[in-house]
A and B are shown apart, each in its own frame.
Chain A
């Protein structure tokens, strides 16, 4: 899932200066799970903004709503009635959700309430760790199911650097395991250590962001003009 954390309230307030009718819009997906932008967080932020407005005579009108998924047009379109008349939306979704919100409501300013960080998973309650950098050409089959691109500080492909010690990464030994130490032990457990002997050639990064913004097309899923028209009529 996508991991994000809230921007400091101070920054949010600064970014909202000059607006009056504000909608705080949360998302029930990833950012709710990582406790950054779900219903509960939306409630807290909205209340904080109201208090701040009262204390500073800002006369802000703060509404709140949380949608199922802010990254999908259909869900975002459903809140049209609430959005109307607002002059700013504080999006408490990830950067994707905030952008979809802006696309659907192009005339209303969308301000991000979160800093989107990475694609990761919960490690234990309250701790999330990055797992994938979306390189577009997965090598997990070569690395014991542990991603060297996202989890090695140097994105190395051929084994640990000289700074790997006691299973920790030299960059942040207290908090970060050395991905290549983990890969080594995983491959050993799996009886696949010979994979560590193979030289992995330079990676083709064209499938990553280095190739520009990416787009995936699934031809059979695209609606024909006719189907689109029929669907439009039902909306």
Chain B
């Protein structure tokens, strides 16, 4: 065991893992994180706290993760390279570990021009692969990036994101391999709608034996409306939403129910894909729907390990 987190135990025991995203509020009020943590307790093995997602200023992922701990649910703290240099990243990792956070997701981060502080000076001192390298070195060698010894190493299960739908497609498996070599213990993918392309990517992943070295959690986003589907297809870079999905949403009498249905079908399918070890549900601003999805997908109750 690298960190002994619940997520790590579930994955190591060979269960099909479930992680769920909780978006921190644009506020100093902790109640929404608390509320979501309470409501979702038991429906996932760990909960991702996003780090100023799409470069929008929000309650910090570190604070949100601690609120989750107070509510007795396990956090996955996201950490982007956009806003911190290696000094701040390493310091926050030590702090997070000291506070009991055992899962960390290393991300490059969305560019600040997408958010509500477009004029910000970005950092990007390191990229997500280098972040993994540094964190692994801290955990396994008890050394910071610059080489100095730590009195006590942080204990963290390290995650990273991968997007099978970005370009150049041929490089995406190599990029995953780089993340695994750099230290990723688990991977959460971008939301999958184009199953064919995902399957092709997974083929490449299996060919290189990467599914044996890293736990892959496939990302899903339940759709609320046809508008949301179109938005993701047209506006979110690095996402592919096939027309068949848009059609289904357009024709549905009850689009929300249809969205849930599609999501459950996707999870059922992903369970059968060799090398996929779990799902990561991102119900952006629709966290309420998660228990229903988890139950209907036959993933409830969660294993106790």
Contact = CB atoms under 8 A, between A and B. Distances in A.
A158 B166 contact: no
B122 A154 contact: yes
Interface residues of B, number: 37
A199 B167 contact: no
Count chain A CB atoms within 10 A of each CB in B124, B126, B174, B237 and give the residue with the most. Answer: B237
Contact of B166 (A153, A163, A173, A201): A163
A162 B181 contact: no
B234 to A, nearest CB: 11
A162 B190 contact: yes
Interface residues of A, number: 30
Contacts of A34: none
B126 A165 contact: no
Contacts of A159: 129, 171, 174-175, 178
A215 to B, nearest CB: 23
Contacts of A156: 108, 124, 127
Interface in B84-110: 86, 108-110
Contact of B127 (A154, A181, A197): A154
Contacts, number: 97
A199 B181 contact: yes
A158 B175 CA distance: 8
Contacts of B276: none
B163 interface: yes
Interface in A142-181: 153-167, 170-171, 173, 178, 181
Nearest to A160: B166
Contact of A162 (B126, B129, B162, B168): B162
A196 interface: yes
16 contacts: A154-B109, A154-B124, A155-B124, A157-B129, A160-B171, A161-B108, A162-B108, A162-B166, A162-B237, A170-B111, A173-B237, A184-B171, A199-B133, A200-B130, A202-B145, A205-B125
Given A154-B82, A160-B171, A161-B238, 7 more contacts: A158-B127, A159-B174, A160-B166, A162-B163, A181-B168, A199-B130, A201-B133
Interface of B: 81-82, 86, 108-111, 113-114, 122, 124-127, 129-130, 133-134, 145, 161-163, 165-168, 170-171, 174-175, 177-178, 181-182, 190, 237-238
